[in-house]
Every structure is written in structure tokens, then in C-alpha cells.
Amino acid sequence: MDALKRQISTFSTLEKIQEHEANNLLKTLGFIRKNKQRVAGQIQSLHQALEYYQSTTSGSIESIQNARAFIKNLRKAIETLEEEVNKLSSSEQSILEQWREKKQRAQGYGTLVLGAKQQIREYRAKQEQKNLDEVSSNLFYLKKQALEKELEPPQGHSQEPITE
């Protein structure tokens, strides 16, 4: 019985730890998604700037060369940010998988807690039934003894029937 109570305590603690870790992963997931949106907004802004500078074809040779260099830098920046989005997406998937594992473990520990509690209830029910059976048996024995005493003839009297 004490072993089951210790198991319940251990499993409950493990369940709470898994739930806590799962909640932390959700917070991290929210942070990653927020970063991903921020980076996606930056990429969109850089694409708009790229379109603007690509459409600018007038001006001096120097300004056109500066625009081309700037366009090249914009493309590198977009590429870098797209790599960051890919890394964030990969992290997002990894964290989702970890979260699912934590939730499954927490549910597993919860199931173990319920099973151990059920075992304790069954054990207590058996003990209670055993005690009731014992009380019933003792009561039956006492009633049997009382009935046998009632049927015994009084001391000093003969057991022969009285005839008149």
C-alpha cells in the first residue's frame, strides 16, 4: 500500500514536470512564431525596396551602379532572412514534436496515477470485505453459541420429559 502511495506521488510529480515543460515549450513556440512573423515582414519590406530599385533605370551611370550594388545587397539580405525563416520553421517543428512528446508523457503518467489509485481502491475494498466477512463470521458464531445455550436444559434438572 505504501509502495503504491509512493508510486502515485512519483507519477504525479513526473506528470506535473512534463506539463510544466510542455507549457514552457508552448511559450518558446509563441516566441519563435512571433520572430518568424517579424522576419517575414522584413522580407516583404526588402522585396518592396528591391522592386523599387529594380524599376529605377534612369540617372547617371554612377547612380545606376550604386542602385545595382544596393540591389545586390538587398538580395543578400533577403536570402539571409529567408534562411532565418527556414531555421525558425525547423525549430518550430522540432518544438512542436517535443511538446507532443511531453503531453503524451504527461498523459501516460496521469494514466499510471489513475491505475495506482484504482489498485488502492480495490485493495481497500478487499480489506473492507475481508473485515465484513470476519465480523459476519464472528457474529454468526456468537449467535450460534447463544442459541445452543438457550436450548440447553437447566443445570440440575433431568432431561426426561415430564409425564402426568
Q: Does residue 146 surpass a pLDDT of 60?
A: yes
Mean pLDDT of the chain: 89
Please report whether residue 151 resides in a domain. no
Q: What would the pLDDT profile of 118-142 be if each residue is shown by its tens digit? A: 999 999 999 999 999 999 999 988 8
Please report whether residue 71 resides in a domain. yes
Backbone angles phi, psi at 151, to 5 degrees: -85, -15
Please report whether residue 114 resides in a domain. yes
Q: For the domain that residue 131 is a member of, what is the CATH number?
A: 1.10.287.1700
Which pTM does this prediction carry? 0.67
Please report whether residue 51 resides in a domain. yes
Please report whether residue 85 resides in a domain. yes
Please report whether residue 149 resides in a domain. no
pLDDT at 29: 96
d(C-alpha 37, C-alpha 28), whole Å: 14
Q: What would the pLDDT profile of 31-82 be if each residue is shown by its tens digit? A: 999 999 999 999 999 999 999 888 876 778 888 888 889 999 999 999 999 9
Domain span at 109: 2-141
CA distances (Å), origin 56, targets 43, 51, 64: 20, 9, 8
Q: What percent of the chain has a predicted confidence (pLDDT) above 90?
A: 68
Q: Does residue 162 surpass a pLDDT of 60?
A: no
Please report whether residue 58 resides in a domain. yes
CB 36, CB 86: distance < 8 Å: no
Q: How many domains does the chain have?
A: 1
Pick 56 or 12 by higher pLDDT.
Answer: 12
